[in-house]
Structure 1
Amino acid sequence: MKAVVLDAEDHYQVAEIDEPAPGPGEVAIQVAYAGIQWGDVMVRDGHFPFPRPFVPGFEASGHITAVGEGVPAHRVGSPVAALTTAGACAEVVVAPAVLSLDVGDLPLRTAAGLGWAAPTAYDLINTAAQVRPGESVLIHAAAGSVGTLAAQFARHAGAGRVVGVVGSAARADYAARFGYDQVVLREEFPAKLDDERFDVILDPVGGSTRRTGLEQLAPHGRLAVYGNLGPYEPVLADTNDLLMQGRSLITYNSNLLSRTHPERLADSARRALGLAADGTVRVDITAEHDLADLATAVQRLAEGATYGKSILRIA
């Protein structure tokens, strides 16, 4: 089968490799589309220690072609969206059955665009931060795949005010399409918001952004951390100071959750898929690439040149 392979020199190339077979609790999927996400940048840049050569791709949509031991045979032929540990940038990928979710009539292109971003955004709003009706929410990286979905999930949860932070005026214009009440530039943050305090802040950035976030929390506010797009420097929090105002610092790691409690992640992904299927939220696929163009797609994501979601067309 054809697949994209990342070699020891960090070059992507399309190659012929053996087709994988599903093991116990797994399914094989004929891939229609693969989602492109920040994890692909992290792998390319060596932040995730995957051995090379490596077939990238952590999210896929397509049809199940075979099942492993313990997986019902009737799932063969089902259209699914899958969260994978690797290998989605190929004609066939093996994925955990529990994280290969039936999508019904949802187009496979749309299903691939949801990927890991959908359960991550859903959990940040509904499980980690537990946004309540009327609360205010601040979302960093507001024009990205998680940010655009999180804004919509916050509205669905009844948030009273949703504010986004982005890196450019063009990204601000784009993010404004997803229900934000206000979008501010990173260079204007936090001055543009005066002394406004928020009940919930979503932070994938780190560094000074994280320190500022702790100061911007309202009493009983929650800062939900789910990545480090910026510096990896440690951010220290005084628990006594947090206690006095009832503030909380919360972390969320979807990759860890997929390994410790995959059924929880699957439940959130299923709920997100349902909200996409009924039109409550939308995923915006802004770029579709051929298999041979993965290097370009990942580089554009790393440079912040993409909005919303990019996908790779396989079939």
Structure 2
Amino acid sequence: MKAVVLDTDDHYRVAELDEPTPGPGQVAVRVAYAGIQWGDTMVRAGHFAVPRPFVPGFEASGHIVAVGAGVDARRIGEAVTALTTSGACAEVVLAPAVLASGIGGMSLRTAAGLGWGAPTAYDLINTVAQVRLGESVLIHAAAGSVGTFAAQFARLAGAGRIVGVAGTADRADYAAGFGYDRILLREEFPAGLGDERPDVILDPVGGSTRTAGIERLAVHGRLVAYGNLAPYEPVLADVNDLLMQGKSLLTYNSNLLGETHPERLADSARRALGLVADGKVRVDITAEYAFEDLAIAVRRLAEGTTRGKSVLRVA
């Protein structure tokens, strides 16, 4: 099969590899599209210790072509969106059967746009922060895949006000189409909030942005940290201060959840998929790349010029 390989010289190349065989609890998916996400930039930059050469790609859509022991053989031929630990940028990828969700009549291209972003956003709003009716929500990285999903999920959860934070005016204009009540530029946070104190903040940035977010939370507010786009500088919080103000600092790691409790992640993925299928949530794929152009796609995501979701066309 053909696969994109990240080699020891940090360059991507297209190679011929043997097709993988599913083990117990796994399915093999013939890939139509691979989703491109932040984890791809982390691997490319060397922040994730993976063996080289490495076949990148953590999310795919396609059809199941083989199943391992313990998996219902009737799933062969099923159209799915799958979450993987690697290998999606190839003609065939292995995925845990529990994390390969049937998509029914949804197009494979649209299904590829869900990826890890949809269940992550669903959990941030509904499972971790538990947004309540009328609460205000502030979402950093508002124009990204998680941000655009999170704004829509927050509205469905009954949020009374949703504020986004974007890096550029162009990205702010794009994010405005997903139901935000207001968009701030990154340099305007937190001063641009005025007297506003959000009940919930979703923060994939870290560093001084996280420190400022904790300070600006409303009483009984919750800040959910789910990434570190900023340099990995430590963020210190005084638990006694949080206690006295009723504030909470929470974390969410979807990759870890997929390892420890994949059935929980799968449930959120199916719920998010259902909302997309019902037309209540919109997937916006803004860029589609050819198989050999993965390097361009990852570079653009790392540079912050990507909006919404990008996919790699494999089939």
Does TM-score exceed 0.5, indicating one fold? Answer: yes
SS in 2 for 1:146: helix
Aligned to 1:78: 78
Partner letter of residue 277 of structure 2?
A
Summarize deviations over 1:14-59 as a string: whole Å, max 9, x none.
1111100100000000000000000000001111000000000000
Q: Return the offset for 1:190.
A: 1.3
List runs of 5+ in structure 2 lacking aligned partners: none
Q: Return the offset for 1:309.
A: 0.2
CA distance in 1, matches of 2:215, 2:276: 34
Indicate yes or no: 2:128 matched with 1:122: no
CA distance in 2, matches of 1:276, 1:115: 12
CA distance in 1, matches of 2:255, 2:109: 23
Summarize deviations over 1:177-205 as a string: whole Å, max 9, x none.
00000001011111111121010000000
Q: Return the offset for 1:96.
A: 0.4
Contact 2:190/2:213, CA 8 A, preserved across alignment: no
Map 1:26-41 to 2 at 5 A: 26-41=26-41
Aligned to 1:301: 301
SS in 2 for 1:255: helix
Summarize deviations over 1:211-257 as a string: whole Å, max 9, x none.
00001110110000000001100101001100011110000000000
SS in 1 for 2:221: strand
CA distance in 2, matches of 1:193, 1:250: 22
CA distance in 2, matches of 1:194, 1:186: 15
Q: Return the offset for 1:302.
A: 0.2
Summarize deviations over 1:133-175 as a string: whole Å, max 9, x none.
1000000000000000000000000000000000110001000
Partner letter of residue 51 of structure 1?
P
Aligned to 2:156: 156
CA distance in 2, matches of 1:135, 1:189: 19
Aligned residues: 315
Aligned to 1:313: 313
SS in 2 for 1:43: helix
CA distance in 1, matches of 2:65, 2:36: 23
CA distance in 2, matches of 1:157, 1:225: 20
Map 1:106-185 to 2 at 5 A: 106-185=106-185
TM-score by length of 1: 1.00
Indicate yes or no: 2:244 matched with 1:248: no
Partner letter of residue 87 of structure 1?
G
SS in 2 for 1:198: coil
SS in 2 for 1:219: coil
Q: Return the offset for 1:296.
A: 0.2
Partner letter of residue 36 of structure 2?
I
Map 1:211-230 to 2 at 5 A: 211-230=211-230
Aligned to 1:270: 270
SS in 1 for 2:183: strand
SS in 2 for 1:51: coil
Aligned to 1:91: 91
SS in 2 for 1:63: strand
TM-score by length of 2: 1.00
Partner letter of residue 189 of structure 1?
F
CA distance in 2, matches of 1:38, 1:238: 30
Partner letter of residue 220 of structure 1?
H
CA distance in 2, matches of 1:39, 1:206: 16
Q: Where has structure 1 moved over 6 Å in runs of 4 or more?
A: none
List runs of 5+ in structure 1 lacking aligned partners: none
CA distance in 1, matches of 2:252, 2:109: 27
Contact 2:20/2:93, CA 8 A, preserved across alignment: yes
Identity fraction in percent: 78
